[in-house]
Copies of this chain bind each other. A is one copy, B any other.
Amino acid sequence: MPRPRCCRSLARFLEPDTFKAIGDPSRAALLIQLAAADGPQTVTQLAAALPIDVSVVSRHLKVLREVGVVAAERRGKETRHRLDCGDLVHMLRDLADALEACCPPTLQNLEDRS
């Protein structure tokens, strides 16, 4: 059994849900918009800034909330959304470390020549 250590981490960090969430163009646009705005944004504000219907924005934000990339806070009749990157930042760095551990380029390339 070769290199089991890094792979277990890989399996943990390659959870498809998060990547599927941020892999959608509309949701990526929402994340960028949230990052560009200063202060939390309402669904209506985000829908106005992008060529996406309000209902669609609402659904996309729900997905982003479920994977923990966006946080929401109810304020009267509106819901203010903001980026919540803490977990994602950690996960990305852990994944980068795990990948690096799995891809020792020099050893691997040497083995290729056999």
Do A99 and B82 have beta carbons less than 8 Å apart? no
B32 near A24 (CB under 8 angstroms)? no
Q: Does A10 belong to the interface (CB within 8 Å)?
A: yes
Q: A44 to B32, alpha carbons, bound, how many Å? A: 40
A77 to chain B minimum Cβ distance, whole angstroms, is 17
A54 in contact (CB, < 8 A): no
Q: Quick check: is A78 within 8 A (CB to CB) of the other chain?
A: no
- Give A contacts to B, CB under 8 Å: 1-4, 6-7, 10-11, 14, 16-25, 28, 31-32, 35-40, 73, 80, 82-86, 88-89, 92-93, 95-96, 99-100, 102-103, 105, 108, 111-112, 114
